[in-house]
């Protein structure tokens, strides 16, 4: 089941939440900053052992102080003009995150809108890509949650899913 919710992803009681990280995996602003604050400093220690992550790939850590058991860190593309492989890279983020989740027996997982903040990926295009990949994996999870930070984002996902 794909079930969009409006929430702060750090508060969700799911097996795994996904972080929209950067190549260093050492924290930043946006949802990345919120996750590091909520998980505690042990997360930074764990990330330091991962030696970064290429764009489109994913890495896993414990959730530490979060309600979620795991954090899956993925690095979305920064939007340039749509002709620099951005769509494929964003698709890779969703696919690699869901694959890594399956390998760790994750049944419930929540995603923020990867790349749609600081990285400026157009929200409608990003949501179409997210839902396309989530639908491929839907039946291998109990729940896949697009975690929307604004009411507008929630309506966007609801419209795509009902269309």
**Binding residues vs ligand AR6 (CB under 6 A):** 8-10, 20-22, 28-32, 34, 76, 112-119, 147, 149
- Identify which of residues 13 and 140 has a Cβ nearer to ligand AR6 in the complex: 13
Instruction: Select which of 8, 15, 32, 81 is catalytic.
Output: 32
Beta 108-111 vs 70-75: how paired, if at all? Answer: unpaired
| Residue 81 known to be catalytic | no
Q: Name the 3-class secondary structure at 74.
A: strand
Q: How many residues does the chain have?
A: 163
- Identify which of residues 92 and 116 has a Cβ nearer to ligand AR6 in the complex: 116
CA dist., res. 154 & res. 86, Å (int): 23
Q: How many CB atoms neighbour CB 71 within 10 A?
A: 26
Name the minimum Å distance from CB 139 to ligand AR6.
Answer: 25
- Identify which of residues 140 and 155 has a Cβ nearer to ligand AR6 in the complex: 155
Name the minimum Å distance from CB 57 to ligand AR6.
Answer: 14
CA dist., res. 158 & res. 147, Å (int): 12
Catalytic residue ranges: 32
């Amino acid at each position: 089941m794909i079930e969009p919710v409006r929430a702060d992803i750090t508060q969700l009681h799911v097996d795994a939440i996904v972080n929209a990280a950067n190549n260093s995996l050492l924290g930043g602003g946006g949802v990345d900053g919120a996750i590091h604050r909520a998980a505690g400093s042990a997360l930074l220690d764990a990330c330091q052992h991962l030696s970064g992550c290429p764009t489109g790939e994913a890495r896993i850590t414990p959730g530490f102080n979060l309600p979620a058991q795991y954090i899956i860190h993925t690095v979305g593309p920064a939007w340039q003009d749509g002709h620099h492989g951005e769509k494929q890279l964003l698709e890779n983020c969703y696919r690699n995150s869901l694959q890594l989740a399956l390998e760790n027996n994750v049944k419930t997982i929540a995603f923020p809108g990867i790349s749609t903040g600081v990285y400026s990926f157009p929200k409608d295009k990003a949501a179409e890509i997210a839902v396309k990949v989530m639908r491929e994996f839907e039946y291998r999870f109990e729940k896949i949650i697009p975690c929307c930070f604004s009411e507008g984002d929630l309506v966007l996902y609801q419209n795509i899913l009902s269309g």
